[in-house]
Amino acid sequence: MAYCYSEGPSTGSTAALPHNSTMAVIEQATPGTTTYGRPTTPKLFTAQLADIQAVWDAQTPAGLYSITWDSAANRVVVATTNATNHRPEMVGNGENWFGFTQALAGWNTSWTGASAPQAVARLLGVTVEPAEDWAQVDFAEYRHGRIASIGWGNHQAHQVIAYFSGENIATMQAGYVTAGRVRIHQDETDVLPYAAAHPGGYVDGWVVAAGDPTEEGDTGDLWSLRMVVAVPR
């Protein structure tokens, strides 16, 4: 799952780099009012949805909203909890990021994205190796064979191999989940972060290297992609 970059402000039509940080909404009763919502800092996709919901609840004329990612269906659902007819509006690359690739017209109390959000890639499995210390280390040798080992480093790295089905190639190639900051769940039910004593937890890191999708075998439906994910320490 990818993080979106955002610098705020939390609402308004102008913002720095709004390409996937922002979603807007118009309500039927006040069609002249467009309310924008975005987090004020970089946020994980699901946290971004919660932030947008909070902004809309506070800023829209009437609606109270529920913006959720349906994990099982892999779709984003935008709905009002007080039966307010509305229509979400996509900003920048929002249609791909949130998965609302359909033509958004008319009014409704609930909207479901027509496509899978490209902020999330469903994996068949993933190998996340325990962290490695990625310090640069030099040996310096002095007289009589005496040695000092000098190290510099500010991050650890995880070697990652993601396995996914053919239907997710487009999402992987879109780049949101293979570049920048991402969260990789090794086990979707494990809510604890990776730690030295809990190597099965989810990893929050920055993708510093990624290969191309590679077909595994010749069935046409099993693919893998190698990444190196760095975590500051």
Closest residue by Cα to residue 119 from 194, 44, 228, 169: 44
Where does this chain touch another protein (CB under 8 A) — which range of 17-25, 34-42, 82-90, 139-147? 139-147
Residue 122 interacting with another protein (CB under 8 A): no
Q: Which of 70, 132, 167, 187 is in the footprint of another protein by CB under 8 A?
A: 132
Minimum distance, C-beta of residue 159 to another protein, in the bound complex (Å): 9
Minimum distance, C-beta of residue 87 to another protein, in the bound complex (Å): 48
Beta bridge partners of 150: 138
And the tokens for 215? Answer: 């077909």
d(CA 45, CA 58): 20
Site string for another protein, 190-229 (x = CB under 8 A): ----xxxxxx------------------------------
Helices (H), ranges, the chain: 45-59, 94-98, 169-174
Edge-to-edge strand list for the sheet holding 110-112:
65-70, 75-80, 110-112
Residue 135 interacting with another protein (CB under 8 A): yes
Minimum distance, C-beta of residue 183 to another protein, in the bound complex (Å): 18
And the tokens for 131? Answer: 């962290």
Residue 156 interacting with another protein (CB under 8 A): yes
Q: Decide if 86 contacts 64 (C-beta within 8 A).
A: no
**Which residues lie near another protein (CB under 8 A)?**
129-133, 135, 137, 139, 141-142, 144-153, 156, 194-199, 233
